[in-house]
Structure 1
Amino acid sequence: MNLIHVSVKSDASKVPGYITFVYNAPTDERKMMVWNKMRNFVANIKSSWLCLRDFNYVIATTEKLGKLPVNVRRVLNFHCILADCELLDLGYQGSKFTRNNRRLGEEHVKERLDRAVANCEFRENFQNALVTIMDPIGSDHHLLFVDCDHR
């Protein structure tokens, strides 16, 4: 299904109650299956929730450079799923784009498809959280590093 959803507990340190790793499908039909699964998670989440990785959507037209223009309907759909799941983008430090198709000329595309989002409880419990976009290693996607207690 392209999701790994885990409940996290620790006596040693403060951790998010839930973490969901996303690798969203490239087709709209499969994306909708992932979104619906995430909507189902919301009803059972009773603490902080961190959700991250490849959503395969941008949140704004400024998050894509090259080739075809951003599909505004898809941007609005992504905003709706984030609102339905009560998730907020955590922002980032580092490269503006998280995917580079490594092609040249008119075929070159850069996009911010990878991100970390979280619910309000996560934001309250982890006010110093910092998302750093790191250089890619063997992939066309950059790595995300989430430090929940950045100082």
Structure 2
Amino acid sequence: MESSKVELTVIEKTSQALHCNVISNDFHIICSLLYIRPNQAAKERCWTELREFKRRHSGLWLAMGDFNSTLWASEQCGGNILWNAMDWFRDQLSSCDLYDVGTEGAPFTWIKREGSRVTLRKRLDRVVWNEEAHMIFPEGKVFNLPRLHSDHHPVMFSSSIDR
């Protein structure tokens, strides 16, 4: 198997996002690496910036990172379910034409501890993509990897392109 050369170029950055072109022999995709702060004003600012980014760029788009939001009640164990916040998050994804890739592995990617006791689990970290990316990577999968030293599980996207 011949290894494919991959070129990554930063095309834009903000306080909550790093946008890169990822180019190989097999594909060209925009990958946005995100850390969306947990306060509402910062979330609104980030999603406004993402909508503006989408207007300026076209083609395959994959965004991954800590969204500090859940889509569904099943993505949380413990604590209060924030129904309006979930609706709002779904609306933001929709406004950017982004869809959740889904996941394999641990159902939650973040834990909150009080002392030695885990009091809250949520799926905050995820990968989302646009329809064009889904068409090119129909076998694409996201794996929630084992948590090591952080309160977050790392997530890994596999395009399932076997070359």
**Shared fold per TM-score greater than 0.5:** yes
Residue in 1 that maps onto 2:6: none
Partner of 1:14 in structure 2? 27
Structure 1 residue 45 displacement after superposition:
2.4
State which of 37, 41, 44 in structure 1 corresponds to 2:56: 44
One of 147, 150, 154 as aligned partner of 1:143: 154
- Over alpha carbons, which structure has the higher Rg? 2
Contact preservation (8 Å) 1:130, 1:150: no
State the 1:9 CA deviation.
2.1
| Larger strand proportion of the pair | 2
Aligned equivalents of 1:25, 1:70: Cα separation in 2: 19
Q: Deviations over 1:28-63 (max 9, x none)?
A: 011111111111111122211000110000001111
Give the aligned partner of residue 63 of structure 1.
75
Do the aligned partners of 1:19 and 1:49 also contact (CA within 8 Å) in 2? yes
Number of residue pairs matched?
147
1:65-84 maps to which residues of 2 (within 5 A)? 65-67=77-79, 69-84=80-95
User: Which deviations, in whole Å up to 9, do the C-alpha atoms of 1:6-34 show, x marking residues without a partner?
Assistant: 12222x3324x200011011110111111
3-state SS in 2 of match to 1:101:
strand
Q: How big is the alpha-carbon RMSD for the aligned residues of Structure 1 and Structure 2?
A: 1.5
Gaps of 5+ in 2: 1-14
Give the Å deviation of 1:2. Answer: 1.2
Question: In structure 1, what is the equivalent of residue 127 of structure 2?
Answer: 116
Matched residue type, 2:26: S
Q: Is the 8 A contact 1:97 1:112 kept in 2?
A: yes
CA 1:150–1:64 in 2, change beyond 3 Å: closer, same or farther? farther
Percent of pairs identical after alignment? 27
- Range with bigger deviation, 84-93 or 70-79: 70-79
**CA shift for structure 1 position 82:** 0.5
Classify the secondary structure of the residue corresponding to 2:26: coil
Matching of residues 88-99 of structure 1 within 5 Å? 88-99=99-110
1:150/1:70 Cα in 2 relative to 1: closer, same or farther (>3 Å)? farther
Aligned residue for 2:139, secondary structure, equals coil
The superposition leaves residues 91-117 of structure 1 with CA deviations (integer Å, 9 ceiling, x where unpaired) of 011010000123355x61000001100
2: CA distance, partners of 1:5 / 1:14: 16
TM-score (norm 1): 0.91
1:31 to 43, 46, 63: 43
Aligned to 2:11: none
